[in-house]
Structure 1
Amino acid sequence: MSEPVVHITSLTLKYQHTPVLQDLNWVINRNENWLLRGSSGTGKTSLAKAIAGLVKFQGSIDIHFGPESKLPAVAHFVAGWYQFKDLEGQSNFYYQQRYNKQATETTATVQAELENYGEKHQLQFNEVEELLAALGFSDLIGSTLIQLSSGEHKKLQLVKALWFKPQLLILDQPYNGLDKLSRKNLNSLLEEITEDGTQLIIISNEVELPSTIHRFAEIREGQLIETSADEYTAEVYETAGKAVPAFLNEAPVSSSESIIRMIDVNISYGEKQVLKNINWEVKAGEKWLLQGHNGSGKSTLLSLITGDHPQAYANNFYLFGHKRGSGESIWEIKQRMGLISPELHWYFDPTATVRQSVISGFFDSSGLFCDPGYTKKAQADELISYFGLTEYRDMLMNQLPVGKQRLVLLARTIIKNPELLILDEPCQGLDQQQTQHFNRLVDELCKNGTTLIYVGHFESQLPDCIEKRILLENGEVKTVETILESI
């Protein structure tokens, strides 16, 4: 009998001085491909990083790579969070920077990033071209890293990992931000590399998986428990059944019957046209689902609405009943809306406390820079309790697992009970119970007349209140329809 590829014995690991994994044992034999599940914050990512040698731990992790394999003898970890640097080695970007022409001149292109990666690992560039085509990424080869959407960044992470093709590949939430076709194609690519000898550990609670995944486990109370394919014990979410805070039950004041109206809107970057003749109206109280494949123009469309894109002024575009550029400031626009997106999460101040981060939603700032007063503090504490975050209230954002960071930002998004909610992939990083709990809250808010634009690739994760759908394809409106006709 051959020795196991990974043999973990009595692994104990702390996250920010708090024990997460306790005397954990795990054996991964040759040719086994695993799915690791578990509720948010249980230690899945910490375990993955320990196997890849990226964090300190107590206990032992023995990895025995195949000496006869031609693949790199590496346990390669692909994070759920993609971070990149500009040409000067800096990574302190801000949220609106991707629309700044100067910023695009100081960040590398996708092609340069891949060429550097290929040179570092002695890879053949013709092999990556096939992967780019398979994931629908070929047209972005000339784009700069800062211009990419969250789904496109995820694809770039995956392209590099598949190109590298290590003996052990650990993927943390690989399906986040990917459209349905991309998820399907990714699974096919993962099946191909396992045939070539790569072993997989996938961290995900999704059900669409490569056919080569045949071992399942989850983390419960610091221990790894092997399960069956259908068995998954989601942790009962501690805030389930709590009443929505009373201050959110008031109907938001609508400033206009028409919240958004776009008439023949076009957005171009040089010769590349990103949005083409967009006509779309969102009336007060409507609940819309915005969909489209990665790169279809969703992020650019949302940036017009949030006031972050400078080309809004060059188009026939009305927001809250006023034509853009008629004298309103960006802060007057943002005061009427609540926003969450993967990009906002990337660029949010990691040194703010949980309470400061939630309160900052009143001021549309990244972090808190003033005394908000008693009432706002009390409302923040109500929401913090509602999301089950009271014990983390005074902790810094960067001391929390990513899933709990996302809950904090969700609370920040809704705290001022805005007229317009823009939720762009709001449940990335949340477990099933947290997703259901948040969507119940969205349904409650929308009963009061809140206008909603919801971006989501997983139809099983959508709130019930959605009424209409707009579908983008290659920067154009492909369909506008009621949600009942599209699901």
Structure 2
Amino acid sequence: MTEPVVHIANLTIQYPNNVVLNSLSWSIQQGENYVIGGTSGSGKTTLAKAIAGLIPADNAIKLNFDASKSLPAKVVYISNWYQFTNLEGDRNFYYQQRYNHHQGHDTLTVKAELEHFAKKENLDFSAIRQRIQDFGFEDVQSSQLIELSSGEHKKLQLVRGLWTKPQLLIIDEPYTGLDKNARAVLNTWLDELVQEGVQLILITNDTLLPNFINRFAHVVNGQIEIVNSPAAFAKDKKRQKKELPAFLHEIPQTNYETVAEMNNIFIRYGEKVVLKDVSWKVNVGEKWLLQGPNGSGKSTLLSLINGDHPQAYGHDLSLFGNKRGSGESIWDIKQKIGIISPEMHWYFDQNATVWHTIASGFYDSIGWFIDVKYQEQKQIEELMEFFDLTEYKNQNLQTLPLGKQRLAMLARTIVKNPPLLVLDEPCQGLDNDQAKYFNDVVDELAQYGKTLIYVGHYETQLPSCIEHRIVLEKGEVKAIENITVKNKHLESAIV
């Protein structure tokens, strides 16, 4: 009888006061391609990392590779988030640095990173050129790693990992941040790899999967359970709807009619044009959806609005009724904005507790530096209760399941009750139930005079309050239109 590719016997992994995997046993046979789904924080990622040898498993895991295969006898793990280093080998970056072209040269270009990886792994660069083109990734080869959007970073992760064609490939949240075309390209590529002998384990609750996926499992109470389909995955407990804290019922006072107005904006880095002749007007109280493929310029456009882009000066750009450069400070702008984005989550202080994370929203910092006032403390406490985060108030943000991290970041975004909410792919990594809960909160907030700019790829993960849409493609405006999420299909070939 052929030995299983993965054999796990009585695997136990625990962190302080928390047993994640409890005497777990599991075997994966040749030809079995798994999706592991289930609840946030159940131990899926911990199990994947243990199989990949990234977490000590005390000899509870045995891998049996096929010596007759030409593929490398190894396991490759692609994490949910991409961690890159600068040219000196550390990760000492700050959030706004990605928009500063001069300081961006502290990291490798995409092409240099891939060439370095090819040399290290003894790979042929020509073998990956068509994949790069299929992914729509060829236009960023000269970009610095720090300049990439979250979706572009995900593509870089995937290109590197799939290029190696290991006998066992594990991908944690493979579709996070990818646009519609990239998700389809990824599934096709994975199916082709399976035909070449690669075996898959995907960690996801997504239902649009490669054709060769033939096994499903979830982790429940520290044990692996085999199920028949993703529909049987355990789901997070639905939260009971609560009344918004009273301070969020207050409609923000504004003495301006336009939140943002830009005319014929050009943003370039050297020869690379990121935004080309972009004009857009956002009036007070409007609810906008911003869409476009990965790398279309969405993050750069938002950086002009939230005050993080150094090229905002010298352009025909007005924010909150004032032309940029007319005397207002960046802090005057940020005081009026609550923002959440994958990049901000990446750069956030990894040692911040949940309480400090929310408190930092008053000061628009990536950590927490100032003692909060009594009224501010009260608002923090109210938001923790509203989002069921009170019991985690003293835990580091990074130790929580992703769903709870995102809720803490949303609490940070709204704690000062700003007139403008900028929500850049806030539901990345959340399943449909978690995303619905998140967007229900956004819909409720929208009733109290908020202006909203929301970035999202998935039609099923959008708030229903959205009224308008702007679509970017290769830095240009392709569409501006009025919409109603409830009755119009939004997800087209370009998003």
TM range (shorter): over 0.9
Structure 2 residue identity aligned to 1:176:
T
Q: Compare 307-316 and 395-404 and name the one that shifted more.
A: 395-404
Output the CA distance in 1 between the equivalents of 2:391 and 2:162.
40
Distance 1:172 1:134 in 2: 22
| CA distance in structure 2 between the partners assigned to 1:325 and 1:165 by the alignment | 52
Alignment match, 2:364:
364
Q: How many residues are paired up?
A: 487
SS in 2 for 1:314: coil
Alignment-derived partner of residue 21 in structure 1: 21
Is 2:77 the counterpart of 1:60? no
Measure the CA separation in 2 of the matches of 1:483 and 1:15. Answer: 47
Q: Which moved more, 1:59-68 or 1:286-295?
A: 59-68
The secondary structure found in structure 2 opposite 1:282 is: strand
1:185-334 correspondence runs (5 A): 185-237=185-237, 239-334=239-334
Q: Distance in 2 between matches of 1:238 and 1:486?
A: 26
Q: CA deviation at 1:352?
A: 1.3
State how far apart, in whole Å, the 2-side matches of 1:401 and 1:55 are: 18
CA–CA distance in structure 1, aligned partners of residues 466 and 400 of structure 2: 31
Q: Percent identity?
A: 54
Taking the aligned partners of 1:48 and 1:17, their CA distance within structure 2 comes to: 21
Pairing 1:126-141 to 2, within 5 Å after superposition: 126-141=126-141
In structure 2, the partner of 1:375 is: 375
Q: Distance in 2 between matches of 1:97 and 1:255?
A: 32
Q: How does 1:138-153 map to 2 (within 5 A)?
A: 138-153=138-153
Shift, 1:30, TM fit = 0.4
Residues 28-47 of structure 1: pairs in structure 2 closer than 5 A: 28-47=28-47
- Which residue number in structure 1 is paired with residue 48 of structure 2? 48
Cα distance, 1:271 vs structure 2? 1.2
d(CA) in 1 for partners of 2:382 and 2:81?
29
Q: CA deviation at 1:19?
A: 0.9
Q: Distance in 2 between matches of 1:174 and 1:255?
A: 45
The question of whether the paired residues in 2 share the 8 Å contact of 1:75 and 1:169 is answered with: yes
Distance 1:16 1:424, change over 3 A: farther
Q: Deviation at 1:186? A: 0.7
Length-normalised TM-score, structure 1: 0.97
Query: For 1:455-475, what per-residue CA distance to the aligned partner results, in whole angstroms no more than 9, with x for missing partners?
Result: 011111111111111110111
> Where does structure 2 lack aligned partners over 5 or more consecutive residues?
491-495
**Secondary structure at the residue paired with 2:60?**
strand
Distance 1:449 1:457 in 2: 25
Q: What's the counterpart of residue 84 of structure 1?
A: 84
Correspondence for 1:165: 165
Tell me the SS of whatever aligns to 2:123: coil
Counterpart Cα distance in 2 of 1:242 and 1:466: 22
| Distance of aligned partners of 1:293 and 1:16 in 2 relative to their CA distance in 1, 3 Å threshold | farther
Match of 1:177 in 2: 177
Amino acid at match of 2:281: E
Give the letter aligned to residue 64 of structure 1: N
- CA positional deviation for 1:108: 0.6
Counterparts of 1:443-458 in structure 2, within 5 Å, are: 443-458=443-458
Q: CA deviation at 1:50?
A: 0.3
Q: What is the distance in 2 between the residues matched to 1:282 and 1:486?
A: 23
Is structure 2 residue 414 aligned with structure 1 residue 414? yes
Is 1:123 aligned to residue 123 of structure 2? yes
Q: State the 1:58 CA deviation.
A: 5.0
Deviation string 1:167-217 (CA, Å, 9 cap, x unpaired) is 000000111111001101111111111110001111111111111111111
Mapping of 1:400-439 within 5 angstroms? 400-439=400-439
Determine if contact 1:6/1:61 at 8 Å carries over to the other structure: yes
CA distance in 1, matches of 2:238, 2:350: 25
- Alpha-carbon deviations, 1:111-151, whole Å to 9, x = none? 11111111111111101212211111112111110111110
The one-letter code matched in structure 2 to 1:3 is: E
Whichever residue aligns with residue 412 of structure 2, its letter is R
What corresponds to 1:96 in structure 2? Answer: 96
Supply the distance in 1 between the matched residues of 2:373 and 2:71 (Cα, whole angstroms).
59
CA contact (8 A) 2:432 2:460 kept: no
What secondary structure sits across from 2:19 in the alignment? strand
Quote the Cα distance in structure 2 between the aligned partners of 1:228 and 1:252: 50
| Structure 2 Cα separation of the partners of residues 319 and 326 of structure 1 | 11
* Structure 1 residue 405: Cα displacement: 2.2
One-letter amino acid of the structure 1 residue matched with residue 128 of structure 2 = V
- For the residues of structure 2 that align with 1:479 and 1:120, how far apart are their CA atoms? 43
- The more displaced of 398-407 and 117-126 is 398-407
Letter in 2 for 1:143: S
Contact 2:167–2:199 (8 Å) recurs in 1: yes
Judge which range, 51-60 or 69-78, deviates more. 51-60
**Equivalent in the alignment of 1:111:** 111
**Distance in 2 between residues matched to 1:58 and 1:16, nearest whole Å:** 18
CA distance in 1, matches of 2:433, 2:382: 20
Equivalent position SS for 1:231: helix
Report the secondary structure of 1:264's partner residue. Answer: strand
Does structure 1 conserve the Cα–Cα contact (< 8 Å) formed by 2:459 and 2:489? no
- Aligned to 2:232, the other structure's residue is in SS state coil
Equivalents in 2 of 1:68, 1:54: separation in Å? 26
Provide the C-alpha distance between the structure 2 equivalents of 1:32 and 1:346, rounded to a whole number of angstroms: 33
For 1:58 and 1:244, the matched residues in 2 are separated by 47
Partners in 2 of 1:361 and 1:402 — Cα distance? 19
In structure 2, how many angstroms separate the alpha carbons of the residues matched to 1:104 and 1:269?
10
Letter matched to residue 399 of structure 2: Q
Contact 1:357 1:409 in 2 (8 A): yes
What is the rounded CA distance, in whole Å, between the counterparts of 2:374 and 2:235 in structure 1? 34
In structure 1, runs of 5+ residues without a counterpart are none
Counterparts of 2:42 and 2:14, CA distance in 1:
11
Q: Which amino acid aligns with 1:160?
A: R
Does the aligned pair in 1 maintain the 2:216–2:230 contact within 8 Å? no
Q: Is the 8 A contact 1:10 1:59 kept in 2?
A: no
**3-state SS of paired residue (1:325):** coil
Q: CA deviation at 1:163?
A: 0.6
Tell me the CA shift for residue 385 of structure 1: 2.0
For residue 252 of structure 1, what is the amino acid of its counterpart?
P
